[in-house]
């Protein structure tokens, strides 16, 4: 994901929608319980390679961020301002000109 877009996402998603990670000392999309369950399910599915497990965690994180953005969009807190090269929406705050 483009670094500028990541910074924009940080401005569009309230800390209340995220989870504080004591280890990383920052807000993250997945709670510790969600991360643990994601890893446990990945291992149960037969994925033992760290790279494969990271792909699953990245997918889960993107899905959670998408869920939060969708909720905020439905609540009219953010707006779609365009689309990326993959056709996915790009979001902006309602007060953006």
Give the pLDDT of the chain (97 residues) as one tens digit per residue. Answer: 456 555 666 678 888 999 999 998 988 999 999 999 999 999 999 999 999 999 999 999 999 999 999 999 999 999 999 999 999 999 998 875 5
**Left, alpha or beta for 96 (phi > 0: left; psi -120 to 50: alpha)?**
beta
The DSSP call for residue 85 is: T
Residue corresponding to tokens 């689309």:
83
**HSE-CB of 72 using CA atoms within 13 angstroms:** 23
- pLDDT for the residue numbered 38: 98
Domain boundaries, the chain: 3-93
C-alpha 62: how far from its chain's center? 4
How many other β-carbons are positioned within 10 Å of the β-carbon of residue 75? 8
How many angstroms separate the CA atoms of 97 and 94, rounded? 8
């Amino acid at each position: 994901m483009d670094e500028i877009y990541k910074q924009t996402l940080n401005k569009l998603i309230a800390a209340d929608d995220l989870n504080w990670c004591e280890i990383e000392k920052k807000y993250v999309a997945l709670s510790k319980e969600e991360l643990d369950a994601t890893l446990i399910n990945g291992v149960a599915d037969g994925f033992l390679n760290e790279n494969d497990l990271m792909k699953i965690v990245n997918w889960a994180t993107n899905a959670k961020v998408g869920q939060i953005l969708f909720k905020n969009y439905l609540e009219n807190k953010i707006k779609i301002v365009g689309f990326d090269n993959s056709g996915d929406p790009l979001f902006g705050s309602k007060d953006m000109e």
